Structure 1
């Protein structure tokens, strides 16, 4: 796809972006091997199993203790973000098919949203649901597909969206022009929904109630890395996966004439810069205060695109690895 670079001046990277380990360091990882690659998101089901989707379209349920794996569905596309309901149903963002619902393990898959205002969803990314059944979900890019996700980061297209599916099935666009919209988390009191903007190094909050209803502001900004999927932990915190630290070359190119990024995109993929290997997750409260910062070297696991906290355990997913990684909050 021809690149249409948009110039943007990023905030100066914080010193933390240059570190490769946190203090204290993230504890060692235990890997739960999968029959395929790319557990891009990980959520904890009501029965305690871990749910994830892999690159062949399968939805898997994984026992976090024994590692036993069961395939509970197949989307026919590429599943990304998930939301597990208490009744055993599962909301699925499929990058190719849109927003789906699995009624039960081994059950039927229903397409909830495939298009918005007559335009097919291009890159459905992450999802969360309120207790009343209202669904909030993100679309990362209206230009670039999942297989060329790096193209959107380099182009800085600003075509991501945060959407709401109401109880009557109507769709509202809550926020448009987002820089690679990604993880979505609903505040426990329902006052706001937050969305990660991977390409802008920030987490943006959209107010649902109160005097600020219908407006947005940054919950966290100028992160030291690229935020990806997010999840509300059992500790009440917003857990954010950081797929990679900030890239100094990209930060240098973004404010410059777009032809430089066009040239970079045109060179063979094997010669293009790759995301730095790291394992990284952070947690924030709903005032934007950092509570946890856990990182270790990406020697055996990397490109962490998901973090789920449950009772002090951390379950990590990756766009490229053939396993779910398990560690603990120190």
Structure 2
């Protein structure tokens, strides 16, 4: 089925962490070091700065917004009155830049990290997934993930599904009442990953590299393929049931279902993900696409 892509916003540096909240889009821009809102007709408004590079975000039950601060491995909180301050220090449990996250209905934040110095060219290493509780307690809840990235929680709150960018798939966990993660299993496998510590070799294997993602009401996941220049919809198990290529010259790095009926897919697109090229150019765009099955779960 052909899908029509529409350009909503141009002139960003590198958009990430898209969310739909209170009738508008929220996005991070890595290299403008800021969080923005975007209306459905494309009006972008600066909200606040995150000097050490914002990424994933989510809302606590009290209406506060929590945003990843990547380079210092922290979370920051924007209170309902607009005050921005420290929320959590993850430097003791993160082996690389903190990246994407999801908040459950009790205000527990599940947050991943790269696991190694991606932009510095370090060898790939496994990463841990952390949970930040409302009282500030930080707990490692899963170990040995392959670049944990976009994450979703099912509508009943029982299951956390995490994209593994260098693992060509998704891993799922059952969320217990106290927030622990048990029953780790493969949710979707899209190929056998090469045995390498070279990230460019891994990403150049031709396998999908799931980045930011979003769950729909049929239990499928739309994900941005960080090396495949597309967004794709994957079924439990790993079958890709739909694939939509990006316009020439653009890659896709995150996506989120939203809009008033939950059927608009917002896509964060840019020519590549390299800091040295994105930080000096204004070539990132936000694209939208209408889909058939609406959003479900969190975020």
Which TM class, normalised by the smaller chain length? Answer: 0.7 to 0.9
> How far does residue 188 in structure 1 lie from its aligned partner after superposition?
1.8
Distance 1:101 1:235 in 2: 32
1:87 offset after TM fit, Å?
A: 5.8
Q: CA RMSD in A?
A: 2.7
Higher relative contact order (CA 8 A, sep 6+): 1
Distance in 2, matches of 1:244 and 1:136, equals: 25
Q: Say whether the 8 Å CA contact 2:95–2:114 is kept in structure 1.
A: no
Partner of 1:296: 245
- Pair 1:201 & 2:168 matched: yes
* 8 Å contact kept, 1:228–1:242: yes
- The residue that corresponds to 1:128 in the other structure is 102
Deviation at 1:32, TM superposition (A): 2.2
Aligned counterpart for 2:125 among listed residues 145, 157, 178: 157
Higher strand share: 2
List runs of 5+ in structure 2 lacking aligned partners.
Answer: 192-206, 293-299
Structure-1 residue corresponding to 2:290: 328
Aligned residues: 259
- In structure 1, C-alpha distance between the alignment counterparts of 2:184 and 2:152, rounded to whole Å: 14
Give the match for residue 8 of structure 2: 32
Q: 1: distance between equivalents of 2:136 and 2:77?
A: 13
1:308 CA displacement: 0.9
Match of 1:171 in 2: 138
Instruction: Find the counterpart in structure 1 of residue 38 from structure 2.
Output: 62
Unaligned 5+ runs, structure 1: 1-23, 246-277
CA shift, 1:221, in A, is 0.8
Contact 2:100 2:150 in 1 (8 A): yes
* 2:200 corresponds to: none
The Cα of 1:122 is off from its aligned counterpart by 3.3
Q: CA deviation at 1:294?
A: 2.6
Q: Which has the larger radius of gyration?
A: 1
1:225 corresponds to 2:201: no
For 1:108 and 1:292, the matched residues in 2 are separated by: 43
TM-score (norm 1): 0.70
In the TM superposition, what is the alpha-carbon distance from 1:289 to its structure 2 partner?
Answer: 6.6
Whichever structure has more helix as a proportion of its residues is 1
TM-score, normalised via structure 2 length = 0.77
Maintained 8 Å contact 2:65/2:79: yes
Q: Distance in 2 between matches of 1:99 and 1:70?
A: 22
